[in-house]
Amino acid sequence: MKAIQHTINHHFTITRRLPRPVRARQELLFDDTNRSSKASNPATRLAQSLTHMLHNQIESIHTQKTLTQSNFSTILEDKSNTPISFPKDDISNNWEEFHGANNWDDLLDPINPSLRQELLKYGELAQATYDAFDYDPYSEYCGSCRYNRNKLFEKLSLTRHGYHVTKYIYATSQIDLPRWLEKSQVAETWSTHSNWMGFVAVSDDEESCRIGRRDIVVSWRGTVSASEWYEDFQRNLETFGHGDAKVEEGFLSIYTTKFRSSRYNKSSASEQVMQELSKLIDFYKKRGEEVSLTITGHSLGGALALLNAYEAAAIFVNLPVSVISFAAPRIGNSVFRDELHELGVKILRVVVKQDVVPWTAGMVFNNESLQNFDEITGGLQWIHPHAGVELKLDARASPYLKRGLQLLGHHMLETYLHLLDGYESSKVPFRPDATRDIALVNKECDLLINELRIPPRWYQVANKGLVQNAYGRWVKPKRDPEDIPSPTSESANCNEMQSVLGY
């Protein structure tokens, strides 16, 4: 221990005396030495690692203090008086590259600005599944989408992306919850077991021209309900597909469970989405159009996206299938990962370094170096490797976020989108011309620094859903008939959409 302490003290004594630019170079040199010095003794290597970690913490504190001293009111005012711009670059000539044909080689670090915009687009489509979800336990429609599919993007100000929704997806699970865990506090509800889990959408003509193909998007929601939380913690692996691929039973249950007695899950989420994909792909292929499938989701939604991609790639041969996931957990064994790659599924996992969820699901044994021993382990069930390419973001890069342990805040999708918007490369600070609204970070958490004066968890329905009637009484409003979930209206809207699309 004395050797370790001596090495740390010596290094800090030297670096404190250096001018800041020189000191930064010295830290980088020390870090390189730490990574490459195999000849040094264990005490020295441990000291170097601890020193490097301490330097990172000191650098974070220094940055935070510097920014705290600045006028955050001016920063907010300047940004609020600047229109939010959404550049839409023409990527029609190289869309395959942005869709992952080359596994995003040379596009991530530094990030290609056009790719950043595409990733933000898919992230916002994933965020829509949270923003439109009705989880008011006193609502008779708790667990449904607040809006009809034809109004979803209009209500959420997402029409700029150029997509229209063709189908809503509903999911259930195999468990029966005790009454105190059920989602709704009212006796009569629209559905006892089903929840709205996402949607299928298609790019319109203008967007299709810009991106070079007709893009079908499936967006999956993350965990909200008690039954979903319960399923998330199911750790047993079950066979998925026709070989030795196995995935966690909780995720698989949400994806494949159906109840014949249910109004909304007579077919499973899997069957609903695959039936819609089959219709859309067949329709656009017959028109001679090039078609792609992009599946996105956050957290649990990222896990469901992988199951969806596996199934779609196995059925729709030669269809370009990509997954853009955010904060996705590990979900299956190494065979599942390998089969995803063999099926040609391109996967880009966006993760935040401080978020623990991407490392969950058997995380004690999730050291990916264990994959080198596949020949010995034979793909043991406790090995849950990640699949695809990783884009790692660092919460410390943003000057607007609180430091320290923020388990909820670091996992929120809006935090991911904030960091993605400010990301240029792993070696460059948060870009000052990031366009997304900073206040969005605090929609469901308390991660923004107090100097910004943005209240925590501010996103909610006005007056928590109560409105004044003609007599001045505060009451629960009635939903517009077209926004009420029902198999009948689902069918009618589907026929209307089919008429618009022409199939």
How many Cα atoms are found within 13 Å in the side-chain-facing hemisphere of 229? 7
Residue in this structure with the two tokens 């008086």, named with its chain if needed: 81
Cβ(411)–Cβ(299) under 8 Å?
A: yes
pLDDT computed for residue 3 by the predictor? 43
Contact criterion met (CB below 8 Å) for 360 and 403: no
User: Residue 351 and residue 327: Cα distance in Å, rounded?
Assistant: 5
pLDDT confidence bin for 229, thresholds 50/70/90: low
Domain spans of the chain, in order of start: 2-69, 86-393+461-501
- 14 φ, ψ (degrees, to nearest 5): -70, -50
| 402: CB partners within 8 A, 6+ apart | 409, 446, 447, 448, 449
Higher pLDDT, 238 or 58: 238
Residue 366 above 90 pLDDT? no
Architecture of the domain defined by 86-393+461-501: 3-Layer(aba) Sandwich (3.40)
Q: Which of 20, 22, 44 is nearest to 34 (CA)?
A: 44
User: Does residue 37 carry a pLDDT above 80?
Assistant: no
| Rounded average pLDDT over 79-102 | 86
Query: Which is more confidently placed, 322 or 183?
Result: 322
* Residue, of 31 and 336, whose pLDDT is higher: 336
Task: Compute the CA torsion angle 334, 337, 340, 342 (nearest 10 deg).
Answer: -60
Percentage of the chain lying above the pLDDT 70 cut? 69
Residues 404-454: tens digit of each pLDDT: 989 999 999 999 999 999 999 999 999 988 989 999 999 999 999 999 999
C-alpha torsion angle, residues 379, 380, 382, 384 (rounded to 10): 0
- pLDDT of res. 111: 98
Are 419 and 412 within 8 A, CB to CB? no
Least confident of 57-66, 189-198, 273-282: 57-66
- Read off the tokens for 196: 């709205």
SS3 108: strand
pLDDT, mean of residues 57-72: 49
**Mean pLDDT of the 66-75 span:** 55
Active site residues: 299, 355, 411
State both tokens at 386.
């990640």
Reply yes or no on whether the pLDDT at 200 is more than 90. Answer: yes
pTM score of the predicted model? 0.79
Longest dimension (CA), the chain: 83
